[in-house]
Amino acid sequence: MKIRLLTINILSLLSLSALQGQEIYELKDCISIGLERNFSILIAKNSETISKNNFTLGNAGFLPSIDLNGRHSGTLNNTTTNLTDGTQTISNGIFNTTTNGSVTLGMTIFNGFSAITTYKKLGELNQVGQLNTQLAIENLIADIVSGYYNYILQVQQMNNLKYALTLSRERLRIDEDRYLLGSGSKLEVLQSRVYVNSDSSNLSRQNEVVRSAQIRINEMMAVENLDNEFTSKDTSITVNPDLLYGKLLEETLVSNTNLLIASKNKTISDYDYKLIVSRSYPYLNFSGGYNYNLNTYTSNTNKNQITNGMNYGLTFGVTLFDGNNQRRSIHNSSIERDSKELRYREVEQGVKADLLTIYSAYSNNLRLISLEEQNFKTATENLDIALERYKLGSLSGIDLREVQKSLLDAKERLISAHYQAKLAEVSLLLISGRIMNYY
């Protein structure tokens, strides 16, 4: 027990030393920074803004178009006229100008309900843009939560290896004391040093893994300095053991973002079909405008001529035959509608399968946590007994190493079970549309 207390004190001092000069992040801090800076989120929001900008009456074809035109032109000519009586008339420098301006208005009065259908389709596309942003946000949150707890897992693994190194050093101290007192052999001391070096090497490699986990979180948060060192406020992985499959399935069918997008795509496909059908209807267009025209003359009985006035017109038309292209387009659009329906059912089936698979893993890891907690408790007691026997010389070094390894393995399996259960929990909340609960 003294060894364990000594180990805890050493690990606490090491942790306090490592905390100095480092930022401390909560999970919500990482999510908040990521949602503000992550490049994928910013790109998704830009795409959403474009979809929102496209959702207008003018883009749907409801509003008229108004054009203003103006033009000024002139001619400078020399004219020679030869008459039948042999006389000739010459006019040089004849300068005529023409100035005109017009305002024209064009408007579609009826085009087979195309404008109404287009406007509804643009509304659906706007909602798809919002859902795509929501999907990007949910995926980022899931990645950050997984990365955050992976960092905690790796830190726990590192502390486990630190504890192993502390045990090996204590064993080396015992063997050196025995050797000096003449009750131990040089071989035991050398073997203990090998174990110390081996544990030191494992700890060094684990430091690299921890650093990589830090860098990955910095990347997801899109911080300017990827080399930024931090520590997490949480030191353990807690799992919600109360998730129920029936409730998750109900929420998934209502709130899963991929399902919602697939449903919107079905609706958009219906509108595409209606747009193609609308081409079979007659169309009626209106046009009107105002024209102003000024002509000036240098060689004419008239000095200038001004013409201005209004104009209007109605255009009615209907396509009688287009080589059966309209019929082909309608048929293809109908097939596309069926494909979107099949795609929705495929996404729904895939989501249900993922939910069932992940929930099975979630339940299994909850059972493993309970089992590994018992194993860890037993392994801890075994180590205490083994250390006392080793000090008394009634246990070999190889046997002590096996007991030590059993404890470290039990601890590793325990924290791994917590982490795997947490990953399953994150995936379940992501699928069911509840991932925002972490934020």
Q: Is the pLDDT of residue 21 over 70?
A: no
| Cα atoms in the 13 Å half-sphere on the side-chain side of 269 | 20
Per the domain annotation, does 96 fall within a domain?
Answer: no
Residues 435, 426 contacting (CB under 8 angstroms): yes
Instruction: Give the burial class of 24: count Cβ atoms within 10 A of its Cβ; 0-12 exposed, 13-18 middle, 19 or more buried.
Output: exposed
Nearest Cα to Cα of residue 162 among 14, 378, 20, 372: 14
pTM for this one? Answer: 0.86
Residues 436, 140 contacting (CB under 8 angstroms): no
Per the domain annotation, does 169 fall within a domain?
Answer: yes
Q: What is the pLDDT of residues 328-380, one digit of tens each?
A: 999 999 999 999 999 999 999 999 999 999 999 999 999 999 999 999 999 99
The whole-angstrom separation of Cα 339 and Cα 345 is 10
Confidence class for position 86, pLDDT limits 50, 70, 90: confident
Q: What is the pLDDT of residues 201-233, one digit of tens each?
A: 999 999 999 999 999 999 999 999 999 999 999
Q: Is the pLDDT of residue 18 over 50?
A: no
Q: Is the pLDDT of residue 433 over 80?
A: yes
Q: What is the CATH number of the domain that holds 224?
A: 1.20.1600.10
* Residue 35, pLDDT score: 96
**Percent of the chain residues past pLDDT 90, beyond the cut:** 76
* E strands, 203-303, in order: 230-232, 283-296
Nearest-10 crossing angle of helices 114-181, 325-392: 10
Q: What is the pLDDT of residues 236-290, one digit of tens each?
A: 999 999 999 999 999 999 999 999 999 999 999 999 999 999 999 999 999 999 9
Contacts of 363 (CB under 8 A, 6+ apart): none
Per the domain annotation, does 128 fall within a domain?
Answer: yes
Collapsed DSSP state (helix, strand, coil) of residue 234: coil
The whole-angstrom separation of Cα 5 and Cα 235 is 19
Q: What is the mean pLDDT of the chain?
A: 91
The whole-angstrom separation of Cα 145 and Cα 137 is 12
State how many domains the chain has: 1
What pairing do the DSSP bridges indicate for beta strands 88-110 and 23-25?
unpaired
Backbone angles phi, psi at 68, to 5 degrees: -115, 125
For residues 402 and 17, which has the higher predicted lDDT (pLDDT)? 402
Segment 107-115 shows an average pLDDT of 92
Per the domain annotation, does 162 fall within a domain?
Answer: yes
Contacts of 115 (CB under 8 A, 6+ apart): 60, 61, 62, 108
Per the domain annotation, does 370 fall within a domain?
Answer: yes
* Residue 19, pLDDT score: 46
Collapsed DSSP state (helix, strand, coil) of residue 103: strand
Per the domain annotation, does 292 fall within a domain?
Answer: no
* Residue 185, pLDDT score: 85
Contacts of 307 (CB under 8 A, 6+ apart): 291, 292, 293, 295
Domain carrying residue 245: 2-37+111-282+318-438
Is the Cα torsion angle 165, 166, 172, 176 positive or negative in sign? positive
Residues 92, 291 contacting (CB under 8 angstroms): no
Q: Is the pLDDT of residue 12 over 70?
A: no
The whole-angstrom separation of Cα 297 and Cα 326 is 54
**Percent of the chain residues past pLDDT 70, beyond the cut:** 95
Q: What is the pLDDT of residues 120-149, one digit of tens each?
A: 999 999 999 999 999 999 999 999 999 999
Per the domain annotation, does 95 fall within a domain?
Answer: no
* Residue 16, pLDDT score: 44
The whole-angstrom separation of Cα 48 and Cα 42 is 10
Q: Is the pLDDT of residue 7 over 50?
A: no
Per the domain annotation, does 174 fall within a domain?
Answer: yes
Confidence class for position 184, pLDDT limits 50, 70, 90: confident
Per the DSSP assignment, residues forming a β-bridge with 67 are 104
**Best mean pLDDT range from 77-81, 380-384, 393-397:** 380-384
**Size (the chain), residues:** 439
